[in-house]
Amino acid sequence: MEKLFGLFGHPVTHSMSPMMHNDAFQQLGIDASYKLFDVKPEFLKDAVLGIRALNIVGCNITIPHKVAVMDFLDEIDDEAKEIGAVNTIVNLDGKLIGYNTDGRGYLESLVPVLTKRLTEQRVLVLGAGGAARAIVTVLAREGAQEVIVANRTLSKAKDLATLTNHDIIATTIEEAATELNQFDIIINTTSVGMSPNIEDIPVSLDKLKADCVVSDLIYNPIRTKLLIEADKRGAKILDGVGMFVNQGALSFEYWTGQKPNRERMAQLVYQKLGGTLC
């Protein structure tokens, strides 16, 4: 019988996850289908109970349910607990286990573009929401030399700074901009610059170090204003497709025990985005 997988979120209409996972199932000869489930917050508990009832094998969880879903699971893996959010559920014979693949997915996209070890890098993370939590947790775990979180709302950056045992500094975006030449890696986790507001930039790059790595989690557009400007100044740039693909591939591995072809997944996503943007 065809195995069922899916994404719970609200809204989920524009997700590229079904395209990516269904292609991987086909490539690996797995009789399975990945569907979108638009789950309103008031129905989240019912939807999660439905995973067991309908024998859905695995799920991704996205905005706005990544934190709330934790209350309805049987077990939460340590990394997801540390991040404080779940983006992947595995239904193991009726036992629902929560994981978080966002942080590792990001790290696996970042490491190949680095020329120095993370332990020798000072990192600026812009934003203090869910994505920033996953990334800061993984950077702290990997022992980045310094992690600074800059956010529009300073109190949220301060909350995030206390999340791990690592020494994380909280600041404002304006202050970070004045010290931008101190950073080796800059990571935008805010929605600033996302379509349709493609002319917006989350931080001024006037003081950017030329050999800096500038990374944007946004993948619509693929080249955000931040990346365009950073590229012009000689920085190495990293778009958000890698993280999107890697977090999905890691979820896929939890569900099936098999490794999908990540290059093929990325190609599909670039094709799709290219097609919609032009």
Closer CB to ligand ATR, 28 or 201, in the complex: 201
Beta strand segments in the chain, E = 3-9, 32-38, 58-61, 75-76, 88-92, 95-99, 122-126, 146-150, 168-171, 185-188, 213-216, 236-238
- Please, what is the minimum distance in Å from the beta carbon of residue 60 to ligand ATR? 14
CA-CA-CA-CA torsion for 250, 254, 256, 257, nearest 10 degrees?
90
> Considering beta carbons, is residue 101 or 190 the nearer one to ligand ATR?
190
Task: Say whether residue 153 binds ligand ATR (CB under 6 A).
Answer: yes
Among 35, 156, 158, 207, binds ligand ATR (CB under 6 A): 156
CA dihedral 196, 220, 222, 178 (to 10 degrees): 70
Residue nearest to ligand ATR (CB): 129
Instruction: Give how far Cα 21 sits from Cα of 5, 15, 211, 245, 259, Å.
Output: 9, 11, 35, 10, 11
Q: Measured from the CB of residue 210, what is the shortest distance to ligand ATR in angstroms?
A: 25
CB 71 within 8 A of CB 41: no
Please, what is the minimum distance in Å from the beta carbon of residue 107 to ligand ATR? 16
Q: Is 226 left (phi over 0), alpha (psi -120 to 50) or beta?
A: alpha
x/- map, 192-221, ligand ATR, by CB under 6 A: x-----------------------------
In DSSP terms, 3 is beta-bridged to: 32
Contact 175, 204 (CB under 8 A): no
Among 6, 98, 103, 130, binds ligand ATR (CB under 6 A): 130
Residue numbers 85-104 binding ligand ATR by CB under 6 A: none
Closest separation in Å from C-beta 191 to ligand ATR: 5
Candidate list 35, 66, 207, 272, residue with the active-site label: 66
207 is catalytic: no
Q: Which is nearer to ligand ATR, 22 or 191 (CB)?
A: 191
Contact residues toward ligand ATR (CB under 6 A) are 63, 127-132, 151-153, 156, 189-192
- Tell me the catalytic residues: 66
